[in-house]
């Protein structure tokens, strides 16, 4: 039996999300604009400089991305248009926007004071 490589290679990204409550599962019903924001820079969240929200709880995650848009698409298209083009994520410097919760694996929840 011949094996075929996937069309896109998955990439795993360690990132963080800040929240006022300990998130055990990311749900679009509780997300801004139906997407999820993360940052590779934990300190950026702690300083309130990221779209990844509040520093009360820091959720460490592994993101699985296959097709990533960048600033060019983000500045010209809506989030819906980017997703319709087959992108599963957007990378803006060290921040990430993820469209589907199946691409997010929670590995740790840290409660901050």
92-111 residue pLDDT tens: 999 999 999 999 999 999 99
Instruction: Find the helix or strand (DSSP H, E) in which 19 lies.
Output: strand 11-19
Q: What band does 50 get if pLDDT is binned at 50, 70 and 90?
A: confident
Q: What is the mean pLDDT of residues 50-54?
A: 64
Secondary structure of residue 16 in the 3-state scheme: strand
pLDDT score, position 4: 44
Q: What residue ranges define each of the domains in the chain, with the CATH number in brackets?
A: 11-111 (3.90.228.10)
Residue indicated by tokens 């993820």: 98
Q: How far is CA 24 from CA 27, 61, 81, in A?
A: 9, 11, 29
- pLDDT higher than threshold 90 for residue 40: yes
Report the predicted TM-score, pTM, of the whole model to 2 decimal places.
0.85
């Amino acid at each position: 039996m011949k094996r075929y490589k996937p069309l896109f290679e998955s990439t795993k990204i360690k990132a963080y999300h800040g929240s006022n409550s300990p998130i055990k599962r990311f749900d679009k019903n509780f997300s801004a604009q139906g997407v999820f924001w993360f940052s590779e820079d934990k300190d950026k969240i702690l300083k309130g400089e990221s779209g990844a929200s509040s520093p009360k709880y820091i959720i460490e995650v592994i993101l699985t991305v296959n097709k990533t848009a960048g600033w060019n698409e983000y500045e010209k298209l809506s989030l819906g248009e980017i997703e319709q083009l087959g992108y599963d994520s957007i990378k803006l410097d060290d921040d990430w926007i993820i469209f589907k919760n199946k691409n997010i694996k929670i590995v740790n929840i840290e409660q901050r004071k």
